[in-house]
Amino acid sequence: MPTGVILAFVGYAVFSFADALIKAVGPTMSVFEIAFFTTSFSIIPLMIHKRGERWRDMYKLHHPWLVHARCATAITATGCVMYAFTHIPFADVYAIAFTTPIFVTLLCVLLLKENVTALRWFLLFVSFMGVILVIRPGMRELQLGHYILVFSSMLGAFTTIILRHVAPRERRVSLVGLQVLYSGIINGLLMIPSFVMPTLEQFAIFLAIGLLGGIGGLLIISATRRTPANLIAPVQYSQLIWAIVFGAAFFGEFPDWVAVAGMFVVVASGVLNVLSEKRPIRWKPRIFFFRAGL
């Protein structure tokens, strides 16, 4: 097995463990407070991965409006995902989150006028049907977190489309630094009305979440340097396995056979969709606080 694929498996496992910690601490804290602390801590591992760029140059932008718009969509999507992790089952979060490629494809067709093959449309439809099997609307009561997560997937698609346009010309410190800065300011202000001073244990959990997120991002970056992106991208679907494991082990969430079948459909169609892409994939690894698209 290529070294990059192994690193990617470890990286996405690290991300999933961080997500489990979010779910564990969620009931005691507001989403804004969790986002504020974890975002602040997650920048620590990334500070050593600037590729020679200077943080003071982060406002030197070629596409200022688009970069700021990406910050807005990504920060909002991150908050939505954190809310979902703390209110609905683990497996549901990942299954719905993997609908983002569907919205990305729709936006590529509508906004970028890209051509999509019939095979890819079919695989996207199959993936969507797999998600339907997992959440089964109409057969069980859907919670607010399910609807918020769908909205997050839509925002994630916009974030990805913007990133595709601006990434070739913008500095990494701009894409990283501005989002961290704005996230700290916005979440810092929104958390004030319901602020609860974290205990030492909660601070330790926030630090662990941030560090795990940053380390996971570095692992994915390292993976993409060693192995073609077409082999790395499908590894993200391994998070559905971790969702089942962590959900059952720590939160008493046991998906039934229909949900497991739905997750298998999501994984299979997602992997085939990636492998059917003939053009080189511009793979951007998921950094923890960029749920929707670095």
Q: So where are the chain's domains?
A: 3-276
Q: How far is CA 253 from CA 247, 249, 262, in A?
A: 5, 8, 16
Q: Residue ranges of the chain with pLDDT lower than 70?
A: 1, 45-53, 55, 138, 221, 224, 229-231, 233, 276-294
Whole-number pLDDT of residue 282: 46
CA distance 213 to 82: 13
Nearest CA to 170 out of 260, 59, 87, 76 is that of 59
pLDDT digits (tens, 9 = 90+) for 5-52: 888 889 889 988 988 998 888 777 888 998 898 888 877 766 665 566
What pLDDT shows up at residue 57?
Answer: 74
Look up residue 78 and give its two tokens: 């991150």
CB neighbours of 221 closer than 8 A, spacing ≥ 6? 49, 285
Q: How far apart are CA 246 and CA 250, in angstroms?
A: 6
> What is the structure's pLDDT at 163?
78
pTM listed for this prediction: 0.80
Determine the pLDDT at residue 192.
93
Kindly state the greatest CA–CA separation across the chain: 54
The pLDDT value given to residue 290: 39
Predicted pLDDT at 221: 67
* CA–centroid distance for 101 within its chain: 12
